[in-house]
């Protein structure tokens, strides 16, 4: 199956009420881990590049790694997505590279730190939708702001999504998916205390209310790494120093999916898996120096996480449920 618009992957997920993980990549090993995992458990794929990842790879290297995935895994639906586009230009660049989906994060100004107001958000998001849909490209917007600033994306202040604003935002922008702020944050430092299933960790009532009012909307949960404790322990055992920290547990993500979340963004967990594997390998094999030798366990560790997420979110087993839509089909649809 070729490159597909992300909208198709989310529409199909909505039909069967499952969630699809969005995995960020920066290099070949991450892309391979995502594809190997998806081929094993038969899940559709959403592979994302941030602006930082595109800059790190001079655009062209990452673009070709992602396109190699499309070529090699031709029987799996793959959406290639720009994560946290910060202005019209970043979106144009991604579309010119051949991405099938873009996020415009209009909740923040171009500096990706200062919150915008509702009208500013609508204005930039609408401009992007008008442009992207002409190419059949899916658009994800964002309403509300996440916490956390460690990876350079975020205001550091949580502003939960206001369900009263959602209908107007959807009508005036035409986005295909919407990132909602429900108390998660980017990066490894999400919660200082171990999340308790008997206490409200996230604002699930916000998701439920939005789903009640806009049942067709595909909601997106950012900042959804689970920060597996065994990976933190392994990193620290082999020379790392990560203070105690907890992520979003799988039970909380599953609650979100049951309430209408269709895309779940994961980046940090793959970073942790790779680092834990590399640290262990180099610590226990001080005489080794061939990068392939430590990148193989890193790729395997990431594949394990990928498979676990596909299975937990429910997308495993659904790669072959439908016939691929092309960007040309999506263009006709938007017309
Ligand atoms: O949204 C945040 C993602 O984790 C991307 O992070 O900008 O460090 O690539 P990055
Ligand atoms: P994590 O930092 O929790 O992996 O979140 C990633 C994300 O939201 C990318 O957009
Ligand atoms: Zn994000």
CATH number at residue 121: 3.20.20.70
- Residue among 58, 83, 267, 269 flagged as catalytic: 83
Q: How would DSSP label each residue in 37-77?
A: HHHHHT--EEEEEEHHHHHHTTTHHHHHHHHHHHHHTTTS-
Q: Please tell me the distance from the alpha carbon of residue 24 to that of residue 264, in angstroms, as a whole number.
A: 11
Residue 62 lies in a domain: yes
Q: Ligand 2: residues whose CB is within 6 Å?
A: 24, 83-84, 186-187, 222-225, 265-268
Residue 238 lies in a domain: no
Task: Give how many domains the chain has, as a whole number.
Answer: 1
CA distances (Å), origin 47, targets 168, 187, 198, 250, 290: 29, 18, 33, 20, 28
The pLDDT confidence band at residue 25, using thresholds 50, 70 and 90, is very high
- Whole-prediction pTM value? 0.97
What's the pLDDT tens digit per position in 35-49? 999 999 999 999 999
CA of 281 to the centre of ligand 1 (A): 26
Q: Which ligand 2 atom sits nearest the alpha carbon of residue 227?
A: 3
The answer to whether the CB of 127 falls within 8 A of the CB of 143 is: no
What's the pLDDT tens digit per position in 160-172? 999 999 999 999 9
Q: Please tell me the distance from the alpha carbon of residue 322 to that of residue 208, in angstroms, as a whole number.
A: 28
State the DSSP code for 116: P
Take atom 7 of ligand 1 and give the residue whose Cα is closest. Answer: 52
Average pLDDT, the chain: 96
Q: Please tell me the distance from the alpha carbon of residue 77 to that of residue 208, in angstroms, as a whole number.
A: 29
Q: Which ligand 2 atom sits nearest the alpha carbon of residue 187?
A: 2
> Which residues are within 8 A (CB) of 251 and not within 5 positions of it... i.e. 6 or more apart?
197
Take atom 9 of ligand 2 and give the residue whose Cα is closest. Answer: 265
**Ligand 1 near 297 CB (within 6 A):** no
Residue 294 lies in a domain: no
What average pLDDT does this structure show over 215-230?
Answer: 98
Task: Residue 215: give the domain boundaries.
Answer: 6-228+245-268+309-334
> Buried b vs exposed e over 225-250: b needs ≥16 C-beta within 10 Å?
bbbbeebbebbeebebeeeeebbbbb
Which pLDDT belongs to residue 146?
85
Sign of the C-alpha dihedral, residues 45, 30, 190, 83?
Answer: negative
3-state DSSP call for residue 201?
coil
CA of 77 to the centre of ligand 1 (A): 23
Q: Is 83 a catalytic residue?
A: yes
Which pLDDT belongs to residue 153?
52
What's the pLDDT tens digit per position in 42-93? 999 999 999 999 999 999 999 999 999 999 999 999 999 999 999 999 999 9
What average pLDDT does this structure show over 243-257?
Answer: 97
Which pLDDT belongs to residue 90?
98
The answer to whether the CB of 256 falls within 8 A of the CB of 264 is: yes
Is 225's pLDDT higher than 60? yes
Q: Which of 113, 112, 227, 116 is nearest to 165 (CA)?
A: 116
Share of the chain above pLDDT 70, in %: 97
Q: Please tell me the distance from the alpha carbon of residue 160 to that of residue 41, in angstroms, as a whole number.
A: 34
Q: Which of 228, 307, 215 is nearest to 261 (CA)?
A: 215
Crossing angle of helices 163-173 and 118-133, in 10° steps, is 40
């Amino acid at each position: 199956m070729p490159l597909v618009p992300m909208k198709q992957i989310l529409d199909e997920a909505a039909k069967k009420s499952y969630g699809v993980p969005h995995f960020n990549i920066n290099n070949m090993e991450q892309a391979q881990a995502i594809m190997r995992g998806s081929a094993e458990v038969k899940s559709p794929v959403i592979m994302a590049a941030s602006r930082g990842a595109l800059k790190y790879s001079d655009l062209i290297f990452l673009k070709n790694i992602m396109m190699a995935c499309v070529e090699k895994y031709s029987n799996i639906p793959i959406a290639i997505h720009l994560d946290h586009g910060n202005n019209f230009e970043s979106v144009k660049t991604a579309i010119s590279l051949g991405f099938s989906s873009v996020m415009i994060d209009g909740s923040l100004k171009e500096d990706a730190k200062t919150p915008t107001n509702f009208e500013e958000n609508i204005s930039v998001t609408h401009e992007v939708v008008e442009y992207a849909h002409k190419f059949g490209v899916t658009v994800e917007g964002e309403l509300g702001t996440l916490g956390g600033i460690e990876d350079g994306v975020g205001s550091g202040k949580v502003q939960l999504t206001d369900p009263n604003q959602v209908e107007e935002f959807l009508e005036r922008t035409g986005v295909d998916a919407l990132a909602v702020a429900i108390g998660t944050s980017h990066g490894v430092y999400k919660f200082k205390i171990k999340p308790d299933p008997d206490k409200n960790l996230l604002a699930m009532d916000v998701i439920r209310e939005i789903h009640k009012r806009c049942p067709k909307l595909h909601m997106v949960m950012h900042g959804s790494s689970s920060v597996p404790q065994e990976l933190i322990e392994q990193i620290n055992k082999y020379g790392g120093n990560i203070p105690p920290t907890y992520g979003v547990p799988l039970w909380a993500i599953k609650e979100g999916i049951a309430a209408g979340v269709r895309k779940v963004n994961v980046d940090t967990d793959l970073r942790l898996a790779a680092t834990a594997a590399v640290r262990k390998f180099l610590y226990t094999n001080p005489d080794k120096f061939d990068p392939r030798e430590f990148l193989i366990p890193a790729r395997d560790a990431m594949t394990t996480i990928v498979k676990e997420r596909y299975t937990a979110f429910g997308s495993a087993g659904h790669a072959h449920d439908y016939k691929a839509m092309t960007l040309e089909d999506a263009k006709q649809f938007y017309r």
